[in-house]
Amino acid sequence: MNMARWIGFGASALVHGSLLLLVPVLFAQTTKKTEPDLMPISLAMFEPPPVPELKMLEALPEPVIQETPVEEVAETLREPVKPLEPIKEATEKKPPRPKPEKAIEKTKADRETLAAQQRKLEQEKAAQQEQVRLLEQQRQQAAEQARLQQLAQEKARLAEQGRIAQERFLAEQRKREWEAKQAAEARARLAEQQRLTERALAEQKRREWEQVQEKMHQQKALEQAQARQAAEQQQAEQAKVAEAARRAQTAKPVTSATPSTEQSVPVVMKPSFRSKPRAPDYPERALQAGIEGTVIVRAQVSPQGQAISVQVHQSSGHSSLDAAALKAVRAWEFIPAQRDGQHIASIVQVPVNFNLN
């Protein structure tokens, strides 16, 4: 609905703009009406000749009447009549003469003839003016028809331009709709691909997590087995040490109270190493989880400096760190304790730190 409204607004604006551009051109093309050429007519021919007063006529001498043609009379009447000179006093003293009745009659006849000719000229002039008016009216009608025809042609041209503009607009609109449809389909395909990719990544992460969990279970089981084995070895070593202490005690003469096992086997809190001890391996699960801690390990060291058995004296709270500490201490070599210049068995206590930094 909005699109059709905008199309109508555009076509209306185009038509009005074209008409505004066309009106000055049409006004410039139209010519002004010209007045017809006037026929030069002397006004003297329409003025009647002055009639002399009777007294003046009586004082004049009797005119000689001659027959003159009508053309000469009309020509004479066309000439302006000179004003009469004042009559001299001598003329007034002349005796009166008879009235020129024939001349007066001749003047009246000429006057009627001139009036008829004047009416004829006026009729001819009116006929010419009517003919000129009709010709001007025909010319105006022809100009109006030409103007209307030109307006119709311009209107048809503008309508054709509006139709072409509308078709072009509709074509552009269909093109935009097709492009929008293609873009939407492309976005849908991309979203589907992303969804499939995310699903594959989630499946891969799930498998990796399962593998990590499986490894963790296996590592835990291994640590538990190692812990059991270490406990068994520790018990066996303790039994051996107790048996050795018992044998040593029975072999020497008793000069005082029987010493306890802790007195016969010294506990070294700060042992010395034959070689630099190797750092423990940080458990992968604890490393990923960011677990830190310290394990205090006690180890029974033989007179040769080897760790016979190891046990956790103070746990870190995480079995993976405890197992890694036992494994590392079991591989260390210590400098054995001495008594009376001889190497003896001893118990060493060492802290094993697990720090991410």
pLDDT-derived band of residue 57, with 50, 70 and 90 as boundaries?
very low
Is the per-residue pLDDT at 259 higher than 70?
Answer: no
Is the per-residue pLDDT at 216 higher than 90?
Answer: no
Q: Which of 173, 154, 176, 1 is nearest to 162 (CA)?
A: 154
Contact 299, 305 (CB under 8 A): no
Is the per-residue pLDDT at 320 higher than 70?
Answer: yes
DSSP string, 235-259: HHHHHHHHHHHHHHHHHS---SSPP
Measured in Å, how far apart are the chain's first and last C-alpha atoms? 69
Q: pTM of the full predicted structure?
A: 0.31
pLDDT-derived band of residue 260, with 50, 70 and 90 as boundaries?
very low
Task: Give the pLDDT score at 168.
Answer: 93
What are the residue boundaries of the structural domains of the chain, listed by start?
265-357
> Quick one: fold of 265-357?
TolA/TonB C-terminal domain (3.30.2420)
Dist CA 283 CA 274 (whole Å): 26
Q: How many residues can be counted in the chain?
A: 357
Helix (H) / strand (E) containing 352: strand 346-354
pLDDT digit string (tens) for 69-123?
556 645 655 555 455 455 444 444 555 554 556 666 778 888 888 888 889 999 9
**Given the DSSP bridges, would you call strands 293-301 and 267-268 parallel, antiparallel or unpaired?**
unpaired
| Unique residue bearing structure tokens 């296996």 | 218
Is the per-residue pLDDT at 255 higher than 60?
Answer: no
pLDDT digit string (tens) for 150-205?
999 999 999 999 999 999 999 999 999 999 999 999 999 999 999 999 999 998 98
For the chain, give the longest Cα–Cα distance: 224
From 3-12, 26-35, 128-137, the region with the lowest mean pLDDT = 26-35
Sign of dihedral through CA atoms 153, 159, 161, 164? negative
Dist CA 110 CA 277 (whole Å): 166
Dist CA 302 CA 346 (whole Å): 7
| Unique residue bearing structure tokens 């001893």 | 346
Dist CA 349 CA 357 (whole Å): 24
Reduced 3-state DSSP string for 117-128: HHHHHHHHHHHH
Q: Which of 352, 227, 223, 343 is nearest to 277 (CA)?
A: 352
Task: Give the pLDDT score at 263.
Answer: 47
Task: Give the pLDDT score at 350.
Answer: 92
> For the stretch 115-128, what's the b/e string if a residue is b when 16 or more beta carbons lie within 10 angstroms of its beta carbon?
eeeeeeeeeeeeee
Helix (H) / strand (E) containing 286: helix 284-289
Phi, psi of 39 (to 5 degrees): -85, 125
pLDDT-derived band of residue 66, with 50, 70 and 90 as boundaries?
low
